[in-house]
Chain A
Amino acid sequence: MSEYNFAYLDEQTKRMIRRAILKGLAIPGYQVPFASREMPMPYGWGTGGVQVSAAILTPDDRFKVIDQGADDTTNAVSIRSFFERTANVATTTATEDASVIQTRHRIPEDTLTEDQVLVYQVPIPEPLRFLEPRESETRKMHSLEEYGLMHVKLYEDISRHGHIATSYAYPVKVEGRYVMDPSPIPKFDNPKLDDMAAIQLFGAGREQRIYALPPYTQVVSLDFDDHPFEASKADQICGLCGAADSYLDEVIVDDAGGRMFCCSDTDYCSRRRAAGHQGPAFPGSEVAA
């Protein structure tokens, strides 16, 4: 695809996006408006993350794309091949080998390092959106730090369900200032946002917003003193690799509704298996029903 510039976007657009990224890094958690471009993939399918990746990729990078934690889901495949074609960049599925990781809905299980950048695809960047639909009003609430309403939502959850009934896209407060939507990652991943060594960049294409967390930023999940935040997952171990510490997907394995659980982070799971770990459902052993 030589008719397109390196990583598809023209250099002027990349500079514009880089300025937004730098501003975002300077004001952690603040949503920077940027002139999102129409990409050759639909809005809502990662155009924000793709534009951020396009703006930061260099020919020496090694690029990994995951969707729901997996490298081989269709949209991850599609985005990876887009950059293979337009940037001719090296790709990998190994978390530790990647310099740039674009993700949808997960943070890898492995601890990321200072040499890495994690790029999130964000559908709705505004954590207050479903409490207040007006952009002009939510921007004012952020600038005046009026976040009482956010806690009203959590209060209502507890009064109705006995628990905070938010299980993904769980809102966080960044460096004691901005309330931020961490994108629809399960709340199990929220603690990994805090004090992360890697740069975290969030791109929302349709909503035209970029925000960022520089390395080692304090990120706290909102909660009440007497109803503290809990990073939860299925109370199971991975059927394939036996991991007890990773986020699990549930898979229905037969018509009778038998299920098994396995790591959503496919790279983590396969490396564990390669190292000799085995779960109860590993081919050859019995499927847990």
Chain B
Amino acid sequence: MYVAVKGGERAIENAHAWLAEERRGDSNIAELSVAQIREQMKLAVDRVMAEGSLYDPDLAALAIKQSRGDLIEAIFLIRAYRTTLPRFGTSKPIDTGAMACDRRISATFKDLPGGQVLGPTFDYTHRLLDFKLAADGEVPEAASRPPMSGEVPHVTEFLNREGLIEEAQPEDTPPPDLTREPLEMPANRALRLQALTRSDEGFTLGLAYSTQRGYARNHAFVGELRIGTVSVEMDIPELGFSVEIGEVTVTECETVNQFKGSKTEPPQFTRGYGLVFGQSERKAISMALVDRALRWEELGEDNVGAPAQDTEFVLYHADNIQATGFLEHIKLPHYVDFQSELELVRKLRREAGVSQMQEAAE
């Protein structure tokens, strides 16, 4: 056949059937259940929920199964599904001070009210492959104690009481919603944080790392990192009061950063903030560092031209669903544009050849 890519419909169907078969793998091996993924691939589930901007561990686990473990593909599935969901309303802001913490550490104070809780962390594990897991995943029960209850004060509040850190001013204006409004510059901090919390973990990690290496260094200390569950409440106008509609696990990171001050203003530490669905402290810390770097203007710092300071650069490139779509679209046929380029290059070469021949003749 002379015209390429005929019979596209059939080819697509066959490709999809093959994909389904490959996803299942060897049928002599037991199939993974969604519950298994949800329980045993929890950090993957958390990442899909965070970057998919949808808190639903079962759906995230299903997406991971369907995407054969390609997490960006899974995030994409969740995002596309999320778009179709009706919006019933907006919850009240979660209160992380009332979090039931599984983990809570501070790098700035050795001890503090509420105490440090290591929680289920990879920190201090020796990264040695555990071959026992290959044979048998049974584990002895871990020691437990009653959960921390009541308010767990934020570490930065202790600094705030002394005026040592910038005051985080309460903000009552509803934050913009980047899934409902086009992203437009300049972006305020609420919008930036929203973009960062669903940003690609790898991209954000790379940017945060670059600030540590001197590209807009902001001297971050982890003031506090906490992981745990918080309740989600919603105002029900018909009832006239708010009710708890569920709870979510989140990771919150507050950094204490490089101080600022002048002859007239006493020096004060500044803040960076990260908050992410699920247990994802690498992402939360990265987010806090990038948030802080993006605040150079309001804090009166120099723009040193670092990528992490550039709001447009960061926000327009942090979304892995946008990035992967556009990157991979170059697989699509481009033969019309390529043909026009081909004609042009041939024409320019023809003319260059002619003038070279003329030069040679002269």
Contacts and interface: CB of A to CB of B under 8 A. Distances in A.
Interface of A: 4, 8, 10, 33-40, 42-45, 47, 67-70, 72-78, 81, 104-106, 123, 133-136, 161-163, 165, 167-169, 184-188, 206, 208-209, 232-234, 239-240, 247-251, 253, 260, 262, 264, 266, 269, 281
State the main secondary structure of chain B at its contact with A.
helix
Contact of A135 (B316, B337, B343): B316
Contacts of B341: 167-168
A272 to B, nearest CB: 13
B348 A33 contact: no
Nearest to B6: A72
Contacts of B342: 250
A266 B11 CA distance: 19
Interface in B204-254: none
Contacts of B180: 35
B332 interface: yes
Contact of B5 (A34, A39, A72, A185): A72
Interface string B319-350: 00110111111001111110111111001100
A249 B336 contact: yes
A33 B185 CA distance: 11
Interface of B: 2-9, 11-12, 76, 79-80, 82-84, 86, 179-186, 312, 316, 321-322, 324-329, 332-337, 339-344, 347-348, 351
**Nearest 5 A-B pairs (CB), nearest first?**
A43-B325, A44-B329, A42-B325, A167-B340, A33-B182
Given A10-B84, A67-B332, A250 B326 contact: no
A105 B344 contact: no
Given A44-B325, A44-B326, A75-B333, 17 more contacts: A33-B184, A40-B80, A42-B329, A43-B324, A45-B329, A47-B325, A78-B8, A81-B9, A104-B332, A163-B348, A167-B340, A168-B340, A168-B341, A169-B337, A208-B183, A248-B339, A264-B336
A264 B324 CA distance: 28
Given A36-B182, A135-B185, A167-B343, A260 B86 contact: no
A23 B304 CA distance: 39
Contacts of A253: 2
A34 B9 CA distance: 32
B3 A266 contact: yes
Given A78-B12, A187-B340, A233-B343, A39 B84 contact: no
A81 B326 CA distance: 22
Contacts of A39: 80, 83
A222 to B, nearest CB: 16
B325 A135 contact: no
A157 to B, nearest CB: 10
B312 to A, nearest CB: 6
Contacts of B7: 72
B186 A73 contact: no
B344 A167 contact: yes
26 contacts: A4-B84, A35-B179, A35-B182, A38-B82, A38-B83, A38-B321, A39-B80, A39-B83, A44-B325, A44-B328, A44-B329, A72-B8, A73-B333, A75-B332, A77-B8, A123-B329, A136-B185, A136-B312, A161-B348, A162-B351, A165-B348, A185-B336, A234-B339, A239-B2, A249-B335, A281-B2
A4 B9 CA distance: 23
A72 B2 CA distance: 13
Which of B12, B86, B326 has its CB near the most chain A CB atoms (within 10 A)? B326
Contacts of A8: 84
A262 B2 contact: yes
A67 B328 contact: no
Contacts of A232: 340, 343-344, 347
